[in-house]
Structures are given as C-alpha cells and as structure tokens.
C-alpha cells in the first residue's frame, strides 16, 4: 500500500474528491480517518456509498487507520490510498505514527468560532497551526489547494499563516 495523497477535508468523500483528487492521485482506495464518522453507522455507510467507480471507500477511527497504515504501508501491492482527515491534528497523528508522506494537502476546513480563515475554503484553529508547524519541522510540505486547478497552483500554508500573522 502506498499513500497517494493525505488530504485535510472536513467533507470527506464528496464530488471534488471523487472527480478530481482521486484521479490526480491515481488512487484506487479512499480511507476516511475520523472517529465520529467511523462510530456513526449512517454516515459511515453514506461515505462508503460515495465511492467513485473503480475505487473502494473504507472508514476508520484514527487509531484503526494508524494500525492499517502500520500493517499495510510498503507492502508490494497495487493499492494506492487517498486518506481524508478532518483536521491537521489528525493528519499529524497519522504521520507521527508512521504514515509516509512528503506533503499534506489542505482543502476544505470550514470556518467556525475560534478559527481563522487562511484561504477561500480553509480555516484553522490554534491546534491546527501547531500541528502544521510540527509537520513542517518533520520535513512534510503542507499546501493548500481546493481543487487540482484552483487556485491555479498550490499555495504554501506556512506563507498563508504568516500572512494572517498566525506565526
């Protein structure tokens, strides 16, 4: 199993993921890693039903996803996984526990109280900012791009944080 893309997107499996990111990453499996989704049978089944043709969707708690990554990563098979998490804290947990990625893509992170909007569809909490800093310190590039062609090129999240005076 190879992690084709680790994306922060609090909508999980939806049109942009199924139409654009799966294709760009050449992924044939999608993992939703989120405790609340994994523990809600209705939402879990909904996520699985949104699988694009030729792809499989699995839903795991963060701990289950960590275990699956540790068991399967690096096995010589053709599985290419796009992993979706709700926030940067969860992305960091996966990386700290062994997920091998060069970068993390920030997509949709809805605005709500206590968050700062840093891009059109991305708002971060103070905890997200700390997680981003730790990922960057680990050598992981963190970039924002809502769609593969919007904005026209990926944006460096550290620059976005500096521009908003969050660093």
User: What does the alpha-carbon distance between residue 159 and residue 73 come to, in Å, rounded to a whole number?
Assistant: 31
151 in catalytic set: no
User: What does the alpha-carbon distance between residue 87 and residue 62 come to, in Å, rounded to a whole number?
Assistant: 12
CB 82 within 8 A of CB 31: yes
- How do 56-60 and 29-33 pair as beta strands? parallel
User: What does the alpha-carbon distance between residue 112 and residue 52 come to, in Å, rounded to a whole number?
Assistant: 30
Catalytic residue of the set 10, 11, 14, 136:
14
Catalytic residue numbers, as ranges: 14
């Amino acid at each position: 199993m190879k992690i084709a893309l680790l994306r922060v997107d609090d909508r999980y499996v939806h049109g942009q993921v199924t139409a654009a990111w799966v294709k760009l990453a050449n992924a044939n499996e999608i993992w939703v890693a989120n405790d609340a989704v994994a523990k809600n049978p209705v939402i879990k089944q909904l996520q699985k039903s949104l699988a694009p043709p030729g792809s499989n969707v699995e839903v795991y708690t963060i701990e289950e996803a960590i275990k699956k990554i540790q068991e399967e990563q690096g096995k010589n098979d053709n599985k290419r996984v796009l992993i979706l998490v709700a926030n940067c804290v969860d992305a960091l947990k996966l990386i700290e526990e062994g997920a091998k990625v060069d970068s993390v893509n920030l997509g949709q992170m809805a605005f709500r109280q206590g968050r700062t909007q840093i891009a059109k569809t991305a708002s971060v909490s103070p905890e997200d900012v700390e997680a981003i800093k730790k990922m960057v310190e680990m050598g992981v590039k963190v970039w924002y791009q809502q769609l593969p062609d919007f904005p026209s090129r990926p944006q460096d999240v550290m620059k976005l944080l500096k521009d908003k005076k969050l660093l």
